[in-house]
Structures are given as structure tokens and as C-alpha cells.
Amino acid sequence: MQRLFSTFANGWPGRGLLLQRVITAAVLFHSLVAHIEKTVPLTSLGLDMIASGAGILLLVGLWTPVAGAMVTIVELWTAVSQSGDPRIPAILATLGLTLAMIGPGAWSIDARLFGRKQIRIASH
């Protein structure tokens, strides 16, 4: 991950990325619940379940580039293949793509696992 991102944004930019991850995940979950409430056959929920799984990864900031790319692919497919208003899937695809490109920010599991580590040398 460190090769993908030179830094994990902190401060206001990091808070903005955290907010973007939380909102994206919340809308993905809402979409899944809305489709379940419509009593849609379970076979048609596959894409929503994949997107919600990626939303969980985005929420905690784990494997953010992969999860963002997955959201982008699923939501673009949803936008072009299903009837109805494609605006929400298009927005979610854009949010997924920006998270895949920018990264998760400092408040994420990715930053804890793959961020720069400080080496402290004990002096005698």
C-alpha cells in the first residue's frame, strides 16, 4: 500500500477522506437495505451485496484501492444495466474511484498497517 500512496493524509484532508469513506459506505448499505425491502429475489441482490462488502472495507479503511475499484465497477455496471435513475450509482462509482486513487487517509486500517513507521533508537 505504501507504494500506492506517498502519504496517508492527516488533518483536515484526512478528516475529509474519513467522511467520504463513511458516507460512501452508508449509501451502499442503504441501497442494499432498500433493495431487500422491495422483496427483490435474492439472486438479483448479488451486486448490492458485493458493493456492501466493499463498503465495509471502505468504512474501516482496509484495502481501500481494491474496495474503491470494486465499488466503481459494480456501480458503473448498475448504472448502465438497470432501468431507472442512474445518478446515485454514477455518484457512488465516482466516490469509489476517487477513494481508490487518493487512498484512505490517516484514520484507517491501511494507514496503521502500511503507513510509514518511526524507528526509535534507544540511547544508552
- Model pLDDT for residues 21-36, shown as the tens digit of each residue: 999 999 999 999 988 8
Residue 2 lies in a domain: no
Kindly state whether residue 122 falls inside one of the protein's structural domains.
no
For the entire predicted model, the pTM comes to: 0.84
For residue 123, being part of any structural domain is answered with: no
Q: Is residue 121 part of a domain?
A: no
- Give the pLDDT band of residue 109 (cuts 50, 70, 90): very high
The answer, yes or no, to whether residue 51 has pLDDT greater than 90, is yes
Assigned domain for 29 exists: yes
Number of domains in the chain: 1
Q: Supply the range of the domain harboring residue 49.
A: 11-114
pLDDT in tens, 59-94: 999 999 999 999 999 999 999 988 888 999 999 999
pLDDT score, position 124:
60
22-25 contact pairs (CB < 8 A, 24+) = 22/59, 23/95, 24/55, 24/58, 24/71, 24/92, 24/95, 24/96, 24/99, 25/55, 25/56, 25/58, 25/59
Domain annotation covers residue 41: yes
